[in-house]
Structure 1
Amino acid sequence: MPEPEELRDEETDVAPTGLLGRLRHWTDGHPIRSKLIGAALILALVATVGAWVLVAEIAITPENANLARALEEFDAGEDDSARAIVTDLMKGDSLKTSDYGAALFIMGALKVREAERQWSSERGRNDYFIASKYLAEARTFAFPDGRNAEGLYLLGKSLLESRQLQQGVEALRDALAAGVERKWRAHLLLAEAHFYAPTPNFEDAVGEIDTAIKDPDIDADQRASALLLRSEALAMLGRGVEAEQAAASAGPRANPARRSLAEGRSLVVQLENAPPERRVAIAKNAGSVLERARREDQLSTGVSRESDFLKARIAELLGNRDEAVEGYRELRRSHGTSDAGIAAAFAEGDLLQREGADDAAIAAYRRALDTLDDPKAYRNRSLPLSEVRRRTLEAHAVLLDRGRYDAALQLTDWVGPLVGTTQQLLMQADTLRGWGENLIEQADALGSRGEPQRRQGRHRLRESGVVYERLAEARFATRQFTDDLWVAAEMLQAGQAYGETIRVIERYLRNEPISRNALALLRVGEAHLSRGEDEAAIRTLEECLEFHANDASSYRARLVCARAHRLRGDFDKSEELLRYNLTRTALTPASPEWRDSKFDLGQLLAESGRHNEAIAELEEGINRYPDDPQARLARYQIALSNRQAAQEPLKRFNAAQTVNEREQARREADEYLEAALHMFQQVQREITLADSGDDLDRATLRNCFMLGGNVLFDLNRYEEARQSFASVSTLYQNEPYMLEALVHIYHCWRRQSDRTKAMGVVQQAQQLLQRLPPDADFATSTNLTRTEWDRLLSQLQQL
């Protein structure tokens, strides 16, 4: 049997290689082993194919599967899980654009839930603001399928709660149109939006509440709360009986303290309009209801404070002034930042201002206004924002009417957040303008004694001009911009800030080259002339006359241009312009420009030495306008012109060779001198009777006495002349000008041949000269220096 043994040796010598070779070797001749290996290979193949299918499916739609799961988690109230899924998706780049709306919707809706759970109203408002941004962005990409109405509702709620009222109302309207579920929720939100708007619309609020409470899906608690809000809105509308009925219909499901408060408020409204015979009974009933509200408010919330406010209001309506003020004051002191505390401060201010206690009222208003840092966040059941604004503006108007400009200006410093920067600047500018004009009016009534008020008035007008320019900048993009600039220029000119006037008007002309162009050029010309810039004034005014010859402003432009030429000594050009106004325009003697042109022409003729013509023009002006302030100056100028006109016949008198020539010259001179004396004396009487104390009047009166004395001296009426000169001493005692009067008195005594008295006057003058202080102003009051006066008096003593 050696053969089989050899074969076995051969097989053992060749070892199988590789996994498959060993498996094949292991299964050879063993059917069971072959079946096991086959089954294992089939299972491995199936597992591999399944894994590849799973991986492929995950790779194709990972976002959809995760977003769907996030929505499921959100609906199930698993907020953290939903947020985590969306956050992971938004971190990567795999989220498709079409899925952004769903992801943002989930983030926004989760933020709404967070806001609803916040204990702090400020934090809740911030969360709602963030939610509104998420949801608004989600809307641009499209809300998830089937959630459009819900998304619009959440967006509207977020906008309203973050004080974006207009956009919130629009979103809620869209939500209702899209068929949002539980529509009563949207209607109640709209009602609150109308109720708490900066300018509330309580009628629309009542309408939205009525729609909500008719919805069969509204739950009992929400219906009761809505009826209380309806009661408050009706009370704000002054419909007290309906408000009382709405509060009663809220039923036991309503908060009892809130229900009693609403009923009490409705009774207070009824009290405001009740006839005298019913007031006490209504007030007693209201007080009882409000006291009940206080008892029911066991946690002493806002209900108690609002009840206290309404009780103080009842005292005010019944005329119990002290009780009302004390009630408002106590509430303001203890709860000043609460709704009721703010309303109490305003009520206290209104009551005090009605009594004329403006300073105390201002303090009360300030306490209330200091709480309004952010009007957008202001929500007050007792005092809507629109009412705060109205009452503040009314208080400001009352202060202006009473002339309390200082208090009115203080009030404008605190109203910025309430009325906005533009309205605040307008209030400040108008206040300063009224203050300045009032001070100048007072100054005009006081004459020279009112100079301090006049300076203060001009200062306020300049301040007003600065604020009007700031107002213009705040309204740069509006049609009021150029109007504000114009008023600014007018105020600056009235305040004599002529350089600033020119700058602002030039800015006005760069932005408005058509409207008021002629008047603007006139104002610039006047400002240049006031600054002593004659050439610039003439250039600007001639531009006005060249391009706006038919404009009403051309009449005054011609008048002012004539004055500028007169100052430069160009009398011919000045006369040409004045006569043009008087004879070649549509002006009549009733026009201020015609009147001023007439008086200016008389002054011009007098300055140019044409005294008879000047007298004729000025006398015509006085006859037409006897009560005009310029008439006094015209009379004085007539007196001067008559005196100057007398010099020519007096020269002929001294040079005459015959008696007839001397007599004729003397008659002519005496006629002029008597006319001059008459006018000097008339001006003296006017100034003395006016007793204005004005520096110009005082100087004119002094000149009338001195020049009148000179005229009397020329008429050889020496005693009267001496008395006229002596009158100056009562006006100018211990002043250098008195030396002039004493020298004239000396000459009068010498003409009267009384040398002794003449020498006594010289000694009096020398004593006065010694008494005068070293810094006495000789230059502006006399023609001689101290040394020259000493020399002159010494020479007179030797005569």
Structure 2
Amino acid sequence: MALRPSRLVWRSIVSDAKPTTPDKSSPEAIAAPGVRTRIANQLNWSGGSRLRKIILGSLTAIGLAGLFAFWSYLGHVTVVDVPVVTLDVAWQALDQRKFEEARNVISEIQRNPSGLTDFGSYLYILGAVKSYQADKEWSDDRKRATHLIAARYLQKARELGVPEQREGELIYLLGQSLVYGNQPQEGIAILQESLQTLSDPPVQLRRLLTEAYLNLPNPKLAKALEQNRYLVSDESLSDSERDDALLTHSQILLQLGKLEEATTFINSLDNNKVYQAAKDTLLGRLALAQARTAKPNSAERTALVDSALKDFREALRQDTLHGRVRRQAMVFIGECYELKNDYPAAIAEYDNIGNSFGDTSESIVATLSKARLLQQTGRPDKALVAYRSVLESVGEPVTYVNPLLPFAQLRKMLLQAHSRFVEDRNFEQAMALVEHFASLFDPTTVTELRGITHVAWGEANLEEASKAQRRHSTESLQTEGRYHFRSAGRAFQTLAEMRFATVQFTDDLWAAAENYYRGHSYTQTALVLDEYLHHEARTRRALALLRYGQSQLAVGKMKEAVAALEECIEMHPRDASVYAARVACAQAFLALDQPEKAEALLVSNITGDTLRPESPEWRESLFLLGTHLHESGEYAESIKVLEEAVARYPTAPQALLARYTIARSFHSAAEQPAKKARLAKTENERQKNRKIRDHNLESALENYQDVQRRITLGGHADESLMTKALLRNCYMMQGSVLFQLRRYEDARKAYANISTLYQHEPFVLESFVHIANCWHRLNQPLNARQTIAQAKLVLERLPGTVNFKESTNFSRQQWELLLDEMAQW
């Protein structure tokens, strides 16, 4: 049996639970003994057996469950009794301008997707709320962004449809959001539609259209004036609204250059203190516009500029709010200083505006003007910094709105700045400016400007190279110039890829090929021209085939060159490119060891009726034909052709080498009569051939000396590797000719010049050998041995890294053996 507590124990527990000092007069104190007694009795009863405990626990659980069910029922009844939100409630809130309540109602409706039916109305309400909220934003950027969000809602609402009585308001709000979201072109289209549907358009619609036309990238001033004219003539406007319209009208007339009409409207403004600063600014702008039309440096211009300055300074005094009117007046003060040619004062004024007013519209205009003046006054680095500041302040085009500087005008001024940098040959600044254009210009424009800059840079380098006095400077400038042409080629090739589907595609390919060719990147030239010829069937085809053939010729692909050049010659016989194609094709045939075909092409150029001697192709054909005849062993013909060439073109780049070739032809022509003289069986025959030999040798000597004098007296001895080689060879060949003429002392002196001038080059060893031979012929063996000893000393001093076979026929070891053997003679 279960134990249960005695009554004494329960009494003790109950008594311990009682308050120590009860207030017997209170209701709780009176009722407490009964409740406690009942609880005690229940507990005492349930403790009597296990069954009783189960019964009491079950009754308690049932009671709690009932209580929970009761409260759930009450909660359900309460929820059901809440008024149901509907679209009408949202419309009512919107009409009462309770925008937050309207948005909350739509949000509540959206929680029950099954009940959504009129999607257009929901989106319209959300768009309208956003449009109204945009006006409360604290910054212009946030206002534009919010208006764009509203425009998206409203556009979708229009597509889905709204109640007919709401359509007019929808169109107006959509147009307003697009205009204030910096999409004026789209906004104008919507507002014009609204204008056509309304018989009596509201004032707000006219004002909004005026603002939209003024905010276009290329403002439509005439249309803005037309819309604003309705506002000016509307008698229902308040005084402040009318003054606003008159101010706008005057500004538009000033921009249109209608100064007399602008004067009339400015004078019609009331002397209202609120608008006095704006009126003074307009009067200053009027005087400034008149000053621009006056004669430079005239008394009239000076007076007008002073009048404008006075008005702008008065505007500064009147504008106690230090707002937009003040900023604009400061910008125009800077322009006044420009007209007075006081550029330092103008720059200082513009700099003050930029430092004081952050990224405002007026600050952008002032910084851009400062950059322009810095560029004009020869400070390109500072100008570039200012231009960069402008570009950073402008940011994205979609957010740009500036009544003083429309977007199209901004782009135009930046392009003019780039052109000015290029014209002044400030190519580094021009290229740096182009690299910052990406935010305002499309990629094709940026790439094209990059290519144009590289082309101008390369041409400037080549022009400087042609005027340079030192060979190192010339070669360095030429190398840099070719680099820029190759960079231009890459830019135009990229541009062609961007404009593949446009009519400019083949023009871009051609520009890329031409610049690759000028940059001596012949492989790339051929690749681009191959694509050009694939896409272009008519324009520049002959010239493209010529360039393709010349490029293949430059990289040693003679057969491909011949194929392209022959196509040019055969398929375009009347094109001017055919003459240069003949020259290039002749060079390819010579490389392929087909001299007859080469000679035929060159003769065609020289003897044809269409090409004149003044043309570069005729000149190149003549020089190339003379060189070919020399290499073919036809020395007499070579001399005849080359003498005509140097007589016609004494200053041509090929003339110096042609004169040397003439000397070599005379020198080589002496070999045959010398051989005949040795083999002659009669004295008459021997003397005859010796006379011919000596005549040729004397002519050769004369021409060698002529080339030497032209190089040394002309100051070109260190110009190029070819010139240096020609001078060295002239000294050597003079010694050789004199030796053959048996003028050994003169020959020794000629060789001695080489040993003196070229002591640190391997070929000087040959001059020592020839000098030793001259001493032997003069029967002075001691001097010959001393010369060989001197040659051995020179050989020892030459660095071990020198490659002897580049300029001589022997290696270092072979020279050592030869000199050792000659020392024993």
Q: Normalised by the size of structure 2, how large is the TM-score? A: 0.83
Q: How far apart are residue 684 of structure 1 and its match?
A: 1.7
Q: Which one of 626, 635, 657 corresponds to residue 611 of structure 1?
A: 635
Q: How far apart are residue 643 of structure 1 and its match?
A: 1.1
Instruction: Specify the SS of the correspondent of 1:117.
Output: coil
Comparing 698-707 with 725-734, which one deviates more in the overlay?
725-734
CA pair 736-257 structure 1, distance change in 2 beyond 3 A:
same
Q: How far apart are residue 283 of structure 1 and its match?
A: 4.6
Aligned length: 734
Tell me the alpha carbon deviations over residues 544-584 of structure 1, each in whole angstroms, 9 at most, x when there is no partner. 44544554333323322221221233323333333344446
Q: 1:306, 1:340 within 8 Å by CA — same for their partners in 2?
A: yes
Q: How far apart are residue 148 of structure 1 and its match?
A: 4.1
Separation (CA, whole Å) in 2 of partners of 1:474 and 1:559: 36
Instruction: Specify the SS of the correspondent of 2:806.
Output: coil
Q: How far apart are residue 224 of structure 1 and its match?
A: 1.5
CA pair 620-782 structure 1, distance change in 2 beyond 3 A:
same
Separation (CA, whole Å) in 1 of partners of 2:325 and 2:356: 15
For residue 10 of structure 1, what is the aligned residue in structure 2? none
Tell me the alpha carbon deviations over residues 70-129 of structure 1, each in whole angstroms, 9 at most, x when there is no partner. 545433334345445656667645666xx5555544443333222233333222212221
For residue 95 of structure 2, what is the aligned residue in structure 1? 75
For residue 30 of structure 2, what is the aligned residue in structure 1? none
Alignment RMSD (CA, Å):
2.8
For residue 813 of structure 2, what is the aligned residue in structure 1? 787
Comparing 541-550 with 587-596, which one deviates more in the overlay?
541-550
For residue 525 of structure 2, what is the aligned residue in structure 1? 501
Q: Which one of 666, 673, 679 corresponds to residue 703 of structure 2?
A: 679
Q: 1:706, 1:725 within 8 Å by CA — same for their partners in 2?
A: yes
- 1:168-183 alignment, distance < 5 Å: 168-179=187-198, 181-183=200-202
> Which blocks of at least 5 consecutive residues in structure 2 are unaligned?
1-83
Do residues 743 (structure 1) and 763 (structure 2) align? no
Instruction: Specify the SS of the correspondent of 2:596.
Output: helix
Q: Percent identity?
A: 37
Separation (CA, whole Å) in 2 of partners of 1:283 and 1:589: 62
For residue 757 of structure 1, what is the aligned residue in structure 2? 783
Q: What residue identity is the alignment partner of 2:96?
A: A
Q: 1:726, 1:745 within 8 Å by CA — same for their partners in 2?
A: yes
Q: How far apart are residue 780 of structure 1 and its match?
A: 0.9
Instruction: Specify the SS of the correspondent of 1:648.
Output: helix
Q: 1:182, 1:218 within 8 Å by CA — same for their partners in 2?
A: no
For residue 477 of structure 2, what is the aligned residue in structure 1? 453
Q: What residue identity is the alignment partner of 1:782?
A: T
- 1:416-565 alignment, distance < 5 Å: 416-446=438-468, 448-449=471-472, 450-545=474-569, 547-565=571-589
Q: 1:243, 1:263 within 8 Å by CA — same for their partners in 2?
A: no
Q: Which one of 381, 385, 395 corresponds to residue 359 of structure 1?
A: 381
For residue 14 of structure 1, what is the aligned residue in structure 2? none
Q: Which one of 646, 671, 690 corresponds to residue 666 of structure 1?
A: 690
Q: 1:653, 1:661 within 8 Å by CA — same for their partners in 2?
A: yes
Q: 2:232, 2:245 within 8 Å by CA — same for their partners in 1?
A: yes
- 1:630-709 alignment, distance < 5 Å: 630-692=654-716, 693-709=719-735
For residue 122 of structure 1, what is the aligned residue in structure 2? 141
Q: 1:425, 1:467 within 8 Å by CA — same for their partners in 2?
A: yes
Q: Which one of 593, 597, 602 corresponds to residue 617 of structure 2?
A: 593
Q: Normalised by the size of structure 1, how large is the TM-score? A: 0.85
Separation (CA, whole Å) in 2 of partners of 1:612 and 1:89: 107
For residue 67 of structure 2, what is the aligned residue in structure 1? none
For residue 593 of structure 2, what is the aligned residue in structure 1? 569
Comparing 133-142 with 325-334, which one deviates more in the overlay?
133-142
Q: How far apart are residue 296 of structure 1 and its match?
A: 4.0
For residue 205 of structure 2, what is the aligned residue in structure 1? 186
For residue 628 of structure 1, what is the aligned residue in structure 2? 652
Tell me the alpha carbon deviations over residues 738-770 of structure 1, each in whole angstroms, 9 at most, x when there is no partner. 111222222223333333433332232222122
Separation (CA, whole Å) in 1 of partners of 2:454 and 2:186: 39
Do residues 715 (structure 1) and 735 (structure 2) align? no
Q: How far apart are residue 697 of structure 1 and its match?
A: 0.8
Q: 2:697, 2:737 within 8 Å by CA — same for their partners in 1?
A: yes
Q: How far apart are residue 316 of structure 1 and its match?
A: 3.2
- 1:238-387 alignment, distance < 5 Å: 238-239=257-258, 242-243=261-262, 245-251=264-270, 252=272, 255-273=275-293, 276-278=298-300, 282-387=304-409
- 1:151-230 alignment, distance < 5 Å: 151-179=170-198, 181-230=200-249
Separation (CA, whole Å) in 2 of partners of 1:241 and 1:630: 69
> Which blocks of at least 5 consecutive residues in structure 1 are unaligned?
1-62
Q: How far apart are residue 665 of structure 1 and its match?
A: 0.7
For residue 131 of structure 1, what is the aligned residue in structure 2? 150
Instruction: Specify the SS of the correspondent of 1:798.
Output: coil
Q: What residue identity is the alignment partner of 1:125?
A: R
Comparing 483-492 with 231-240, which one deviates more in the overlay?
231-240
For residue 3 of structure 2, what is the aligned residue in structure 1? none
Q: How far apart are residue 526 of structure 1 and its match?
A: 1.8
Q: How far apart are residue 271 of structure 1 and its match?
A: 4.1
Comparing 349-358 with 513-522, which one deviates more in the overlay?
513-522
Q: What residue identity is the alignment partner of 1:737?
A: F
Tell me the alpha carbon deviations over residues 704-761 of structure 1, each in whole angstroms, 9 at most, x when there is no partner. 1211221122222333323322232343122212111222222223333333433332
Tell me the alpha carbon deviations over residues 581-609 of structure 1, each in whole angstroms, 9 at most, x when there is no partner. 44468434343223222222221222122
Do residues 413 (structure 1) and 435 (structure 2) align? yes
Q: How far apart are residue 285 of structure 1 and its match?
A: 4.5
Q: 1:472, 1:485 within 8 Å by CA — same for their partners in 2?
A: yes
For residue 46 of structure 1, what is the aligned residue in structure 2? none
Q: 1:684, 1:704 within 8 Å by CA — same for their partners in 2?
A: yes
Q: 2:759, 2:794 within 8 Å by CA — same for their partners in 1?
A: no
Q: How far apart are residue 322 of structure 1 and its match?
A: 3.1
Q: How far apart are residue 392 of structure 1 and its match?
A: 2.0
Q: 1:538, 1:564 within 8 Å by CA — same for their partners in 2?
A: yes
Separation (CA, whole Å) in 2 of partners of 1:282 and 1:604: 76
CA pair 700-280 structure 1, distance change in 2 beyond 3 A:
closer
Separation (CA, whole Å) in 2 of partners of 1:766 and 1:601: 44
- 1:6-45 alignment, distance < 5 Å: none
Q: What residue identity is the alignment partner of 1:396?
A: H
Q: What residue identity is the alignment partner of 2:97?
A: G
Q: 1:263, 1:289 within 8 Å by CA — same for their partners in 2?
A: yes
Q: What residue identity is the alignment partner of 1:744?
A: H
CA pair 381-620 structure 1, distance change in 2 beyond 3 A:
same
Q: 1:501, 1:527 within 8 Å by CA — same for their partners in 2?
A: yes
Instruction: Specify the SS of the correspondent of 2:804.
Output: coil
Instruction: Specify the SS of the correspondent of 1:589.
Output: coil
Q: What residue identity is the alignment partner of 1:386?
A: A
Q: How far apart are residue 313 of structure 1 and its match?
A: 3.0
Comparing 133-142 with 278-287, which one deviates more in the overlay?
278-287
Q: What residue identity is the alignment partner of 2:345?
A: E
Q: How far apart are residue 659 of structure 1 and its match?
A: 0.6
Q: What residue identity is the alignment partner of 2:446?
A: Q
CA pair 336-691 structure 1, distance change in 2 beyond 3 A:
farther
Tell me the alpha carbon deviations over residues 438-496 of structure 1, each in whole angstroms, 9 at most, x when there is no partner. 11222233363311111111111111111111222232222111111111111112112
Separation (CA, whole Å) in 1 of partners of 2:548 and 2:292: 57
Q: How far apart are residue 288 of structure 1 and its match?
A: 4.4
CA pair 177-140 structure 1, distance change in 2 beyond 3 A:
same
Q: How far apart are residue 376 of structure 1 and its match?
A: 2.8
Comparing 372-381 with 619-628, which one deviates more in the overlay?
619-628
Tell me the alpha carbon deviations over residues 364-423 of structure 1, each in whole angstroms, 9 at most, x when there is no partner. 222222212112322223333333222222222222222221121122122232333222
Q: How far apart are residue 321 of structure 1 and its match?
A: 3.5
Instruction: Specify the SS of the correspondent of 1:779.
Output: helix
Q: How far apart are residue 651 of structure 1 and its match?
A: 0.5
CA pair 769-199 structure 1, distance change in 2 beyond 3 A:
same
Separation (CA, whole Å) in 1 of partners of 2:461 and 2:806: 31
